[in-house]
Chains A and B, each alone.
Chain A
Amino acid sequence: MENSSDSAASLLEVRGISKSFGAVHALQEVDFTLRAGEIHALLGENGAGKSTLIKVITGVFPRDAGIVRISGEEVAPRSAKAALQAGIATVYQEVNLLPNLSVAQNLFLDRQPMRFGIVRGGEVRRRAKTLLADFGLDIDVSAPLGSYSVAVQHVTAIARAVDLSARVLILDEPTASLDRHEVEILFRIMRQLAGRGIGIVFVSHFLDQVYEISDRITVLRNGRLVGERETASLSRLELIRMMLGRELAETTSTRASAGAQKTRDVCASFENYGKAGYVAPFNLELRHGEVVGLAGLLGSGRTETARLVFGAERADRGQARVEGVPVRLQSPRDGVRHGFGYCPEERKTDGIVAELTVRENIVLALQAKRGLHRPLSRREQDEIARRYVKMLDIRPPDPERPVGLLSGGNQQKVLLARWLATSPRLLVLDEPTRGIDVGAHAEIIRLIRELCDDGLALLVISSELDEIVTYSDRVVVLRDRAHVEELAGEAIDVGSILAAIAADGGSVAHEGRA
């Protein structure tokens, strides 16, 4: 630990914070220092204590020990609102504003300018417009917030926080659902705010972004402080070592068997398959024991392709074949019946059933496949759940815990287990490593390889090109909702994928999400 005694310029000082939940020590004697005008990355694996630290600082959780000072003055907020009054604002990954209200109303919620007890709508809109103009955003502030992209929603939340005279801005995974272009907008705004003397805490799993934007890095592991470093002087390997406490030598090594082009049997094939206004017709062959990566920008048609392949969306042209036999994929049920599995990108809304237990979530697809009249006995369910909890190292290893209480990485493993339990022939994974910490990340990639070696066919979507290059035997590149190129074997590298994505020059669409 260096610099920790330097309190002159420090804006937020956290000393000796401890927090336990029952017997679990979520935080032990953690220190954290944020200077005015700096962007400080807070890193660690899932369960390292980042969220708990933020929640303790902002008063969402009461702390067991330790002090928090802002500009040298001790504060002990007991709610997020009190924290805001003390000058600490938090913007979470899932923006907690009201999507059905207008942007302007969201910005001035709680403090709308009034005259004679009546909200001055015109004044609200005018001030909202000025406020957002500061952030380089020129939008219709009277439209509902929910009609804008996640990026705009984030900027709105940040603008609101800053306007509420926040001096410390905590951004918890702000970039997780943004595309490259939106991330750039966010970063520009972050730099601008730092320039005004605001201290920014940046929590992210994207190490590239951490290196791009942050001045200093604090790493937590298992609820303890590992260290605080200057970003410029910390190598990536050293950072990963700090986060994991072990070497991670092979994350970037390429697939060993990628070179060995065995002729493999075709598992499923799609001929001239597509849907008008959704994805242009494509040809795709998926073979046993082979990973096919789908690369492209957000909105390029990757998820759309995955949904068509699985049957979550109906194609209006083309022919699908499973093991050479023509089939119709009209619904997810059809996909499941033909031995397909699909781990969707949005784990919380499309994947897990949060209230049900790990066991129930794991057996769900298998039970649906078997049908109502052939229920899995409780003993069979326990047996399946135990097997996969062990095989995928799901933590905590308690099959009876509601899955909503697990971390993102473990939820992803539960979803994988759900499909593996159905003994699938084809697995479609949409962003399997998104929002997951480095350790689980490497583990998921290792799993993808193992499954593939067991003869499974895999179709994997990822925004991280390094990752796709690591495990794919073939890579299909998409652009503007069409398959534009297929790379195989030696031809797969980040450069050629980027070239294929950008081949069309200017027309590369950076559309936000509507």
Chain B
Amino acid sequence: MTALLPRRGLAQILALIVILAVDRVVSPQFFDLRLQDGRLFGSLIDVLNRGTPVALLSLGMVLVIATRGIDLSVGAIMAISGAIAASLADSHSLAVVLAAALGAGLICGLWNGFLVAVLGMQPIVATLILMVAGRGIAQLITEGRIVTFSSPDLVWLGNGAILGVPVPVAIALGMLILTGAVVRGSALGLLIEATGGNARASELAGVGTRAMILAVYVWCGVCAALAGVIAAADIMGADANNAGLWLELDAILAVVIGGTSLFGGRFSLILAVLGALIIQTMNTGILLSGYPPEFNLLVKAVVVIAVLLLQSPKLSGVAGVVARLRRAKA
């Protein structure tokens, strides 16, 4: 049995299955899919679509956390890139819009990375600066208004479909594959894990730890900017006050649910994205169930505790829980 199932990730997969099953109970149509105007519709697609911003954020966040850092500014970066995209959308081509928005994310990431890697600031403080200032910058860009646009190209990015799959989902999948290829295809993954596991030792072994740290914050900024563009494209406008608000916390939660320790070291991209999906599946389920959304926060807390318990070494993972239950029965 252990040979067939991945040792890591079992807790997350089980959690997702349980939540999906609960969703099926509260909403019998949950697994229904239908094709309309070349795009799939249904609750499952909804989960994927709505989960895209946090999934993208978690792709960057998981690398940052693997180096023993944290990035609180991703929500603000979403607001900035969304504001830029919305402001340029009706006057420039999609390529220019994307380049400007993602470029802004890259600069934000460089700033964070500079503070952490070069000046040696504590990540939580360093990124708090942009978390606060970023929203101000976004408001300056939108001049305090909600900027709307009608550029069909950008709208397609948020609402279109490729082979029936919503474009945001396709983008998130593409980014997962791209990040995975870059990180695991090169030595980056090992060197990031080494840096997070023991930065001093890694540096003495010749690892360019500063470059590693700078790189993960830059990538985190770019992922956040992409999430911001998609969020803006989805609502055909940019709201500097609310775009990406508190999503940094969801992203951190997704990474933690995905089993990456806040103390750095080992990380898993796929499980972080799975964590984001778990969060979104819960959100959607609660919306469908008709309970007031306030319940969302409580249920989230319960699920987080459950997943973390399953991962806890004291319970020695799922195997331990299963063994205990069996023993209890016998």
Instruction: List residues of A whose CB falls within 8 A of some B CB.
Output: 310, 312, 331-333, 335-337, 342, 344, 349-356, 360, 363-365, 367-376, 418
Within 8 A of A (CB), among B187-234: 187-188, 190-191, 193-194, 197-198, 200-208
Q: Determine the chain A residues whose CB is within 8 A of the CB of B190 once the complex forms.
A: 356, 360, 363-364, 367, 375
Given contacts A356-B193, A372-B188, contact A365 B205 (CB under 8 A): yes
Within 8 A of A (CB), among B156-189: 185-188
Q: Determine the chain A residues whose CB is within 8 A of the CB of B50 once the complex forms.
A: none
Q: Determine the chain A residues whose CB is within 8 A of the CB of B186 once the complex forms.
A: 372-373, 375
Assess the B198–A344 pair: CB atoms within 8 A: no
Q: In the complex, what's the smallest C-beta–C-beta distance from A355 to chain B, in angstroms? A: 4
Most chain A CB within 10 A, of B187, B201, B208, is at: B201
Assess the A342–B202 pair: CB atoms within 8 A: no
Q: Determine the chain B residues whose CB is within 8 A of the CB of A371 once the complex forms.
A: 187
Assess the A364–B205 pair: CB atoms within 8 A: yes
Assess the A360–B194 pair: CB atoms within 8 A: yes
Q: Determine the chain B residues whose CB is within 8 A of the CB of A333 once the complex forms.
A: 206, 208
B135 close to A (CB within 8 Å): no
Q: In the complex, what's the smallest C-beta–C-beta distance from B209 to chain A, in angstroms? A: 10
Q: Which residue of B lies closest to A312 (CB)?
A: B204
Instruction: List residues of B whose CB falls within 8 A of some A CB.
Output: 185-188, 190-191, 193-194, 197-198, 200-208, 265-266
Assess the B208–A355 pair: CB atoms within 8 A: no
Q: Determine the chain A residues whose CB is within 8 A of the CB of B208 once the complex forms.
A: 333, 368
Residue in A349, A372, A418 whose CB lies within 8 Å of B205? A418
Q: Mind listing 27 A-B residue pairs with CB under 8 Å?
A: A310-B204, A312-B204, A333-B206, A336-B206, A344-B201, A350-B201, A350-B204, A351-B204, A353-B194, A353-B201, A355-B193, A355-B265, A355-B266, A356-B193, A356-B197, A360-B190, A360-B193, A363-B190, A364-B190, A364-B194, A368-B191, A368-B205, A371-B187, A372-B186, A373-B186, A375-B186, A418-B205
Residue in A342, A363, A367 whose CB lies within 8 Å of B204? A342
A386–B197 Cα gap in the complex (Å)?
23
Assess the A332–B197 pair: CB atoms within 8 A: no
Assess the B191–A353 pair: CB atoms within 8 A: no
Q: Which residue of A lies closest to B215 (CB)?
A: A372
Residue in B185, B191, B200 whose CB lies within 8 Å of A349? B200
Most chain A CB within 10 A, of B186, B197, B202, B205, is at: B205
Q: Which residue of B lies closest to A376 (CB)?
A: B187
Residue in B193, B201, B265, B266 whose CB lies within 8 Å of A351? B201
A337–B208 Cα gap in the complex (Å)?
12
Q: In the complex, what's the smallest C-beta–C-beta distance from B177 to chain A, in angstroms? A: 17
Q: Determine the chain A residues whose CB is within 8 A of the CB of B202 once the complex forms.
A: 353, 364, 368
Residue in B185, B198, B203, B206 whose CB lies within 8 Å of A369? B206
Assess the B187–A370 pair: CB atoms within 8 A: yes
Q: Determine the chain B residues whose CB is within 8 A of the CB of A332 once the complex forms.
A: 203-206
Judged by DSSP, the binding face of B is helix
Assess the B198–A352 pair: CB atoms within 8 A: yes
Q: In the complex, what's the smallest C-beta–C-beta distance from A439 to chain B, in angstroms? A: 25
Assess the A353–B197 pair: CB atoms within 8 A: yes
Q: Which residue of B lies closest to A351 (CB)?
A: B201
Q: Determine the chain A residues whose CB is within 8 A of the CB of B204 once the complex forms.
A: 310, 312, 332, 342, 344, 350-351
Known pairs A336-B206, A349-B198, A351-B201 / 15 extra A-B pairs, C-beta < 8 Å: A331-B203, A332-B205, A336-B205, A352-B198, A353-B265, A355-B197, A355-B265, A355-B266, A356-B193, A356-B194, A363-B190, A364-B191, A367-B187, A369-B206, A375-B187
A384–B122 Cα gap in the complex (Å)?
37
Most chain B CB within 10 A, of A342, A352, A372, A374, is at: A372
Q: In the complex, what's the smallest C-beta–C-beta distance from B200 to chain A, in angstroms? A: 5
Q: In the complex, what's the smallest C-beta–C-beta distance from B31 to chain A, in angstroms? A: 38
Assess the A372–B191 pair: CB atoms within 8 A: yes
Q: In the complex, what's the smallest C-beta–C-beta distance from A416 to chain B, in angstroms? A: 13
Q: Determine the chain A residues whose CB is within 8 A of the CB of B198 once the complex forms.
A: 349, 352-354
A94–B207 Cα gap in the complex (Å)?
27
Assess the A375–B185 pair: CB atoms within 8 A: yes
A364–B193 Cα gap in the complex (Å)?
11
Q: Determine the chain B residues whose CB is within 8 A of the CB of A367 once the complex forms.
A: 187, 190-191
A344–B200 Cα gap in the complex (Å)?
11
Q: In the complex, what's the smallest C-beta–C-beta distance from B137 to chain A, in angstroms? A: 32
Q: In the complex, what's the smallest C-beta–C-beta distance from B94 to chain A, in angstroms? A: 31
A373–B208 Cα gap in the complex (Å)?
13
A376–B201 Cα gap in the complex (Å)?
20
Assess the A372–B187 pair: CB atoms within 8 A: yes
Q: Which residue of B lies closest to A347 (CB)?
A: B201
Q: Determine the chain B residues whose CB is within 8 A of the CB of A356 once the complex forms.
A: 190, 193-194, 197, 265-266
Q: Determine the chain B residues whose CB is within 8 A of the CB of A351 once the complex forms.
A: 201, 204
A418–B97 Cα gap in the complex (Å)?
47
Most chain A CB within 10 A, of B198, B200, B204, is at: B204
Q: In the complex, what's the smallest C-beta–C-beta distance from B77 to chain A, in angstroms? A: 25
A372–B187 Cα gap in the complex (Å)?
5
Q: Determine the chain B residues whose CB is within 8 A of the CB of A354 once the complex forms.
A: 197-198
Q: In the complex, what's the smallest C-beta–C-beta distance from A333 to chain B, in angstroms? A: 5
A363–B193 Cα gap in the complex (Å)?
13
Most chain B CB within 10 A, of A354, A367, A368, A418, is at: A368
Q: Which residue of A lies closest to B182 (CB)?
A: A372
Given contacts A356-B265, A360-B194, contact A368 B207 (CB under 8 A): yes
Q: Which residue of A lies closest to B193 (CB)?
A: A356
Q: Determine the chain B residues whose CB is within 8 A of the CB of A349 once the complex forms.
A: 198, 200-201
A360–B202 Cα gap in the complex (Å)?
11
A335–B204 Cα gap in the complex (Å)?
9
Q: In the complex, what's the smallest C-beta–C-beta distance from B167 to chain A, in angstroms? A: 31
Q: Which residue of B lies closest to A310 (CB)?
A: B204
Assess the B207–A364 pair: CB atoms within 8 A: yes
A310–B203 Cα gap in the complex (Å)?
12
Query: Would you list the 6 A-B pairs with minimal beta carbon distance, nearest first?
Result: A336-B206, A368-B206, A353-B197, A375-B187, A365-B205, A353-B198
A369–B266 Cα gap in the complex (Å)?
21
Assess the A335–B206 pair: CB atoms within 8 A: yes
Q: In the complex, what's the smallest C-beta–C-beta distance from A297 to chain B, in angstroms? A: 24
Q: Determine the chain A residues whose CB is within 8 A of the CB of B197 once the complex forms.
A: 353-356
Q: Which residue of B lies closest to A373 (CB)?
A: B186
A333–B212 Cα gap in the complex (Å)?
14
Q: Determine the chain A residues whose CB is within 8 A of the CB of B188 once the complex forms.
A: 372
A356–B190 Cα gap in the complex (Å)?
9
Q: Determine the chain B residues whose CB is within 8 A of the CB of A375 once the complex forms.
A: 185-187, 190
A352–B265 Cα gap in the complex (Å)?
13
A351–B200 Cα gap in the complex (Å)?
8
A317–B198 Cα gap in the complex (Å)?
30
A337–B206 Cα gap in the complex (Å)?
8
A353–B208 Cα gap in the complex (Å)?
15
Q: In the complex, what's the smallest C-beta–C-beta distance from B150 to chain A, in angstroms? A: 43
Q: In the complex, what's the smallest C-beta–C-beta distance from B198 to chain A, in angstroms? A: 4
Q: Which residue of A lies closest to B187 (CB)?
A: A375
Q: In the complex, what's the smallest C-beta–C-beta distance from A340 to chain B, in angstroms? A: 9
Q: Determine the chain A residues whose CB is within 8 A of the CB of B203 once the complex forms.
A: 331-332
Q: In the complex, what's the smallest C-beta–C-beta distance from B70 to chain A, in angstroms? A: 18
Q: In the complex, what's the smallest C-beta–C-beta distance from A347 to chain B, in angstroms? A: 9
A353–B206 Cα gap in the complex (Å)?
13
Q: Determine the chain A residues whose CB is within 8 A of the CB of B205 once the complex forms.
A: 332, 336, 364-365, 368, 418
Q: Determine the chain A residues whose CB is within 8 A of the CB of B185 once the complex forms.
A: 375
